[in-house]
Structure 1
């Protein structure tokens, strides 16, 4: 009996503390699901029942008549945006109010997160401006011979698979291709991951995106209790050391100077040589409202962090997109045959060799790739954090700094309001005539606005080359183990990922057999 009163007081205090923000949306007359103490509306994600993209997709379709829907991520209020005009304002027009991505974790404690994807504010703007020239058309064309070399190795690896019966994990197969490409274009290293599924670089990629129990628990605590975030380090020190050692060894080989390879590492070393550089602030202005000038100097760890995100995000998104495309083509053999015929016709003009101009002419392949990205975008949602008090003109709803805003692109891209029979794989949606009618904010696999994916064009070009290499020589088919609907990994939230592999069968095309 003596213990009951203190326990009751303790539980009451916990309840009051964890529910103190739970009237945020009701005060603003924004519809929302009733939140659960401590967990808000995200308990299914926190306990691994569904990914965040699935949570947001479910919420999107639950309120079909609303322009926005409220939710609580732990104790923090968030706003899910259903209206395309409001989404456009947040991502683009009112960017000064929503320039923060709001990933939140501290780059000082987790240095690999000091990269273009995770950081916010002035440093983000500075890096974005300085890294954009890496992805010009001229640079992409110059990289293409390296992509073709990797694509040719992919065909050799495919022949090895067919000689052993043809069953293979498409997800891992395309991940090895992406890893080799990034090694060649980013690091200037021949990785040979395509022929060695246990190569050091492929293993590094797996470790970088693994979610051990420790990681899951710490990330859950970080999500639920903002007050303790500054004392939590989530990422693995083992991965950080492996990446740092690898990149620094490349820097040393080049004497910390560009060596003329014109790859991503060369570009970063060239930037570092410039010393202190200035940029206009996105966060602070002078008394007249003009942005102040801020100074930055890139340190070695800043460079390593950019190489890390180039490596991890590059191979993860491209391998996911290409393997999902092949999965869809396996279940749609007529579309696959149409694409293969196009590949044959186009390559006949180029001595049956893949090249930059040939890939640019493969319109049916590009349509299929875009349709796969519509059905399963690598990022299932876009997140922005309100940086300044903002009133949504359409609704008169005011949100405060710190409120998460989410644009659920997985849901928008599969909404029958925007796409007929949205779950059907129909590449013709992206033909020249039909594609022009698609609203820019109903199809955003690479994001939109100033924080759209900087490497989107490179990723698409590399993906199309890999797909063309496979379909030029092989046909993909489902196996008895291939699910029609692929399961989603509930622990992958930043980037969507299929749970497990994608079992398919590879066959030499009849004209080559």
Structure 2
């Protein structure tokens, strides 16, 4: 019995030592910081999903008004919130070559397939993708996509008007999510998602699944934060979401024979970029012995294109639906502002013949 107790004590002590190793970093540096807890660091409320990361950073920013920077621990990772504009300038501009990692990925070197996109990517992958894709989003490209958005907007108007005539209650958050899913489907994939008319449309279900974490998703996410090296091969994106995205992108590209179709959607844009061949540019991760940047190359293959489509869809529909539904909520609470907004919209549309267009 005694050996068992001793073994348990040793294991607990080892786990405690492992989980708190490095937690004296900010104290040694003389930096004001949030006190950490074993394994989870200072971000316990984020792990418990009682607070978003944005709320946490805002709280830290306001809690230490006299500090230029505030330290904290996200799990076992050391991190800071910068409060001084000059430090922000150094990180984003002057010394960017040392701070290009944004800390979004769980592991520094192993990145899961769907995270190899502009939002999650770091280092050379981010730089080369940005180098090739940013010029592609010209005003002309966006203007060409606008009719697709207008068509879905007219469907939304009909659905909302029908609900008003019936005197029915409408879940605006869900309605706007279906609307943005529809126009992202059109602009991104070149397909008619039909989410506005069909609440159970497959495309809408995919969007819901991405932002509705299952128990498996939560366990994997926490595990990767707590021990990124140990669980680096686990994938945060659910297998069915990844497979559905890959299958969808593959089928659309096969329909187009891997050639731009003239639809001017996001898939066309990616196919045009792929036709240009390898992306070549100066590395921000690797340098020659003389201090000059090495040359980095990137092949825009199907998996990499699927990752761009994944974030285009996920980030596009969720952010837009959240912003628009919240705006509608506020307008409903403030009828005077609603009337003012309606008057301005009517005035603009009058100048363009009552038609919603890119210029309006």
Q: TM-score, normalised by structure 1?
A: 0.67
User: Deviation of residue 182 (structure 1)?
Assistant: 1.2
Q: Find the counterpart in structure 2 of residue 100 from structure 1.
A: 101
Q: In structure 2, the residue corresponding to 1:70 is in which secondary structure?
A: strand
**Per-residue Cα deviation, 1:128-166 (whole angstroms, up to 9, x for no partner):** 111112321121222222221111111011112212324
Q: Find the counterpart in structure 2 of residue 380 from structure 1.
A: none
d(CA) in 1 for partners of 2:316, 2:171: 19
**Per-residue Cα deviation, 1:163-199 (whole angstroms, up to 9, x for no partner):** 2324211111111111111111111112221121211
User: Deviation of residue 109 (structure 1)?
Assistant: 6.8
**Per-residue Cα deviation, 1:412-468 (whole angstroms, up to 9, x for no partner):** xxxxxxxxxxxxxxxxxxxxxxxxxxxxxxxxxxxxxxxxxxxxxxxxxxxxxxxxx
d(CA) in 1 for partners of 2:147, 2:277: 32
d(CA) in 1 for partners of 2:165, 2:141: 37
Q: Find the counterpart in structure 2 of residue 307 from structure 1.
A: 309
d(CA) in 2 for partners of 1:108, 1:81: 27
d(CA) in 1 for partners of 2:110, 2:67: 40
CA 164–85 in structure 1, closer or farther in 2 if over 3 Å, else same: farther
Preserved contact between residue 281 and residue 293 of structure 1 (Cα < 8 Å)? yes
CA 112–142 in structure 1, closer or farther in 2 if over 3 Å, else same: same
Q: Find the counterpart in structure 2 of residue 18 from structure 1.
A: 19
d(CA) in 2 for partners of 1:13, 1:287: 42
CA 293–315 in structure 1, closer or farther in 2 if over 3 Å, else same: same
**Per-residue Cα deviation, 1:355-387 (whole angstroms, up to 9, x for no partner):** 1222xxxxxxxxxxxxxxxxxxxxxxxxxxxxx
d(CA) in 1 for partners of 2:244, 2:222: 25
Give yes or no for the alignment of 1:86 onto 2:84.
Answer: no
User: Deviation of residue 111 (structure 1)?
Assistant: 1.5
Q: Find the counterpart in structure 2 of residue 256 from structure 1.
A: 258
Q: Find the counterpart in structure 2 of residue 370 from structure 1.
A: none
d(CA) in 2 for partners of 1:238, 1:17: 34
Q: Find the counterpart in structure 1 of residue 62 from structure 2.
A: 61
CA 255–231 in structure 1, closer or farther in 2 if over 3 Å, else same: closer
d(CA) in 2 for partners of 1:66, 1:166: 53
Q: Find the counterpart in structure 1 of residue 211 from structure 2.
A: 209
Q: Which has the higher contact order (CA 8 A, sep 6+)?
A: 1
Residue from 338, 341, 352 that aligns with 1:350: 352
d(CA) in 1 for partners of 2:115, 2:333: 39
User: Deviation of residue 105 (structure 1)?
Assistant: 4.2
Q: Find the counterpart in structure 2 of residue 191 from structure 1.
A: 193
d(CA) in 2 for partners of 1:227, 1:295: 26
d(CA) in 1 for partners of 2:39, 2:265: 47
CA 141–231 in structure 1, closer or farther in 2 if over 3 Å, else same: closer
Q: Find the counterpart in structure 1 of residue 48 from structure 2.
A: 47
Task: Note the 1:9-408 alignment, pairs <5 A.
Answer: 9-105=10-106, 110-358=112-360
User: Deviation of residue 108 (structure 1)?
Assistant: 6.3
Which structure shows the bigger proportion of residues in helix conformation? Answer: 2
CA 246–231 in structure 1, closer or farther in 2 if over 3 Å, else same: closer
User: Deviation of residue 226 (structure 1)?
Assistant: 3.0
Paired residues, number:
358
d(CA) in 2 for partners of 1:197, 1:174: 11
**Per-residue Cα deviation, 1:332-368 (whole angstroms, up to 9, x for no partner):** 222111111111112112221111222xxxxxxxxxx
Name the Cα RMSD after superposition: 1.8
d(CA) in 2 for partners of 1:187, 1:4: 60
